[in-house]
Amino acid sequence: MIETYYRYHVFFCTNQRAEDQRCCQNHNAQAMRDYLKKRTKDLGIIGRGAVRANNAGCMDRCAKGPVLVVYPEGVWYSYKDKADIDEIIFEHLQNGRVVERLRLVD
């Protein structure tokens, strides 16, 4: 297995489109990214060997939004609120279990 710098790298689509178009930022994506970043810091699971959260431009999943993706597995999630983000943190980022109810499948 290839060793990665971060155990998990989380990318949030925070793209903002025109008012009448669907986009993740219409669902407070930036605030949710900031929340995940704060929670992982509070839990001491940030940095090398742990978790990194970043903004991403459009990830072309607008109809499924808001979305985030967790690498290295490439697991895509949709979320509604902080409770969903907390579940992703606890289950996936802390315990390595995919949250199937939030997982996006094509």
Q: How far is 57 from 91, CA to CA, in rounded Å?
A: 26
Q: What is the pTM of this model?
A: 0.90
Tell me what pLDDT residue 47 has: 92
CA proximity to 104, closest of 72, 67, 73: 67
Largest CA distance in the chain: 45
Q: Calculate the average pLDDT of the chain.
A: 89
Domain 8-94 has CATH 3.40.30.10: yes
The DSSP secondary-structure symbol of 104 reads -
Identity of the amino acid at 80:
K
Blockwise average pLDDT, block size 10, the chain, 106 residues: 83 75 70 95 95 89 86 95 98 98 92
